[in-house]
Structure formats: structure tokens, C-alpha cells
Structure 1
Amino acid sequence: MNPKMKNKLLIWLAISIAITVLRLSFSQHDIVLAEPFTAHPFVILILCIVFGWLKKDAILSQMNEERMLADSSYVAVGVFIAAVALLMPLSEDLVFVIFNILLLCLGLFVIFFADAAYLPSLLLFVYGFSISFPKIINEYFGTQYALITTNIVSHVAALFYPVAFEGQVLSVTNPEGVKDLLYIDVGCSGSASIAIFLTVFALMLIDIKPRKDSILPLFLFGILGTSVQNILRLVLLIAADYHFGSAVMWQVHDYAGYVLFPTWFAIFVYVYLKVGMEKTHITAVDEKEDKNISIMN
């Protein structure tokens, strides 16, 4: 990277930090983590940051202009994005404050680096959509989504354990005849898992594009698999409560997702690469054979 580019990056970073500090200093309310705490927004943020870092060479390759500012059209777009970020009401939720800060930084980045903001824009869109998705589900479909999940989990678990349900409440009767009640809220229903899956799926589409005719089947397979692994997690909670009691059940509640989701995601990545790459390879071989036949004829 040449010295001029380094200077541009330092100027962009300094302006971004200065405006952010000033804005946060004049904030009218405290910025806190949402209650109850959920880790998925930060997992999504880390995924986007890591992906951007891995693609830093591609971004840097688009930052070779010698001028301090981009063309006027890019400057106008960047000013508009930065203005939207500044005019947007500052949330009390740290997750959305981070999005607001990143949006401001993106607007300033466009002003200085033009086309190089394309990939960061995609990543910010993925982050914003993924952190908003559970909120939208909770707000408009939360109760219905939780009821459907509770119904499915109760019927699956009833194949193995004495389980009943009413509304969002599952009841489990252990071997001693003690009945425990488990309330399935929208958070337990898997909206966070689906948000993480959507993030990963979007990043994979950006990086490794499968054939167009396989995108929808892969997406539906991913949504189905993510939902199934969440139902399996809830059934494991019931099993833990039945065999070992509520204390163990809460431990399983805290850690099962960190085992099941990565395992499911590894399966999905394998299928994604297998379907996308194999079809592309087969198509390429077929085209080559067709060309050879044409030449021979």
C-alpha cells in the first residue's frame, strides 16, 4: 500500500472516530445490552468482520485512486449514507448502536474510496438484516412461531417421554412422578439460529456462488435443517430434565446450541459445496465433450 493510500485510510479512520465519539458524547440515554442477553448478534458481527478481513486484498485492490476524494457521484452517495446514519435515532441497544456507527463509517468510506465500499456495503447489509430478523419475528410472529415450535417439540418428545403441552408450556413428568413445566418463548423457538444461518448463507453466496438452479433448494434445505436442529435441541432439554433434573437441563440449555449448530452447519457446508461444485464441474465437462463432438463432426 502506497503512502498516499495509508494517509487516506488514516484520515477516514480519524474522521469516523471523531464523529462517533462526538455523537455518543451527546447521546441522551445510556447504551446497554438488551435483556435477556443473546450472543447471536455478536456472532453475526464477528462472522462479517472475519469475512471482510479475509477479503481485504480484494478491497485494497479497489483503493488505488490517487485523489483524496472519490468522484462527485460517490461523494454524494457517501454524504447521503452518513447523513442517514447521523439522523437515525440512536438506539439504547448496543447491537443497533454498532450498526449505526458502521453505517456512518461506510458513508465516509464511500466518500474516500468509491467502488471499494461495495463489499463492505454487502457485509453491513447482511449484518443489519440478520440482527433485525429476530426482532421482526418476535414482534409480528413471535407467539405463533413459539406455538408451532412447542407443538412440534411436544409431539416428537412424546414418542419417548411423558410430555404434554398447553399453549407455549410443556409439561414433563419424571420417573418419580414430579412434573416440570417448560415455557417455550420465541427466543427458544430458533429465530436466532435462523438469523445466524441467513448470515452464513449470504456470506457463502457472496464468496462461492453455486448454480442458480441450486440456490433455492439449498436455501430451503438450510432453513429446514436449522429448524430441525433447534427442535432436536429442545427435545434434548426435555430428555435432560426427565433423566437428570432441571439443574442439568439448564446446563444443556446453555451449551447444547454451541455443539448442535456448528455440527449442522458443517453438514450444510458439505452439501452446499457438493451440490454447487459438482453440478458446475459436470456442466463444464459436458460442455467440453459437446465441443469435442462438434469438432469431430
Structure 2
Amino acid sequence: MDVPATGAWSGSADEQAHARFDRNRHLRALRARWRTASLAAGWRFPSDWALPEVDAVCAAVVRHGSEDAETALAGLGRARAASGAGLSETLSDLAALHAVLAEPDAVDGFVSPDVDATPARLLRVTALAWADVATDQLVHTEVTDPLTGLPSAAYLRTRLGEVYRGELGDAHVLLTVSVDLASVSGWPRLTAMILVADAVRAVFDTGESFATLGPSMVVVLARRDERLASRGVALRRSLNERLSVDAQLRDVARPLVSAVRLPATHDHACALLSDLARS
């Protein structure tokens, strides 16, 4: 008997499951080849390449092709700017994606990315999105990260300026909290940073300044006193307890807490923040 077409897939449950498996396999393969190509093209800090927006771009490309991935690429451009990646590095990363898509038979993502060979429309979309965030960061010197609720690096630079105008000496130290999320994608990455921020706020609750640096690091400007070591231990314990609750983070998101001595000048301290954000 003839029935009207509804647009819904009429395949069996097994066929649908196989299609989902095949799509996920393509997503993982594309992501891996893109990362390899981007690192080979000069991406400086491997740990900060993977962002949730990378997965969104891969999903858009697998479903519709690169020509219909403009919205996802704009999101990635904004995310790259927010995480501290420069425009040149962001466009080289886009060129790596284009090279991988242009040479699907290349083994392990070893291709030759060329920004000039990347479609101008994709370059324009990505560059304009990157510039929107970069310009906003210049105008607003104190911004709160919407994910963690912590201030941005711009706020911490301001606080460091106040500290350096006083009598600094060895009175303060930067306590960095980093999480290796290179093998984590999607929502678990966001969950990890929310949990890290929550742990930092719980332990350093007596007026310390803290901020997010890049997609996987939080920094605390703390006094170097007799409580610092015990609070560092408490922070490690709190991080482990929070991250162990999530099965996807328990074995891969290993938090690293380190004390970093402040340099002699405010300019050098700001340069240090930039280096830490991309490490």
C-alpha cells in the first residue's frame, strides 16, 4: 500500500545505529587528521587546540561539507580569539582543515596547508569572527568568562598592576591550575573547567584574585605565606574529588597545580600570563 512520504528515515533501528556509528567514526577521523595537520603547520601549543567549537566544525563538515560550515567556523574564530590564539595562527589552522578536506587520501593528516589556497569566503567569515572578539577584549578591560564565572586575564593584568605599584617583593605568587583536556571533547571539556573554577573559589575564599587563562587553565594571585602550601594541597584534593565524579573526566583530566614566581616588572608579568595561557 502506498503511504505519503513524511521525510523521516524509514530504515531499521540497526541501520540507524550503523549510520550513527559511521558518522561518529568520520567525525573522529576528521578531527584527528585536522589536529595533526594544524600542529605540523605550526600550531604552537598542542594542549589548547581542542575546543568544543572544533567538534562543531567537524560535525558541520561531515553533515554538509565545508561550504556550509560558515556558522560553525565563525564560532571557532570567536573561540580562538577568546583563548588567546592570534589571527595568523587561527587562519593557518583553518588552512589545515581545508588541506585535509582537499586531500582525503593523505595518510595521517600529513598535508601542506596554504592560507592562500583556502576559499576567501571561509577566511573572511573566520577572520571577522576572530576580530569581533579581539576588538571587544580591547574595549572591555574587565570581562567575566561566561562559562566559569571567573574574571578574564585582562582583569588579572589590572590586579597585577596594582600589586606592582605597591611593595611586591616576594609577597605574592601565581598559582596555576591546568587540566590536560587534549583527549576530551564536547560537553566534558566545559564540565571540567566549571568544576575547576568551583574548586578554586571554594579554597581561595579570602579575597584572592583569580582568572581564567585560555581554555584549560585558571590562575590565582595569592599571598606567599604560611598557608599557601596547605591551601595548595586542599585545592588538589578538591579538584580530584570534583573531577572523579564524572566518569569521562576521572581518568583523563589530571589537574596540575603549580606555583609560579612573579617576575621583576609588570610588563614581564603580563608576558608571563600570555605564555601561561598558551602552554
Which structure carries more strand by proportion?
A: 2
RCO higher in structure (CA 8 A, sep ≥6): 2
TM-score (norm 2): 0.31
Which structure carries more helix by proportion?
A: 1
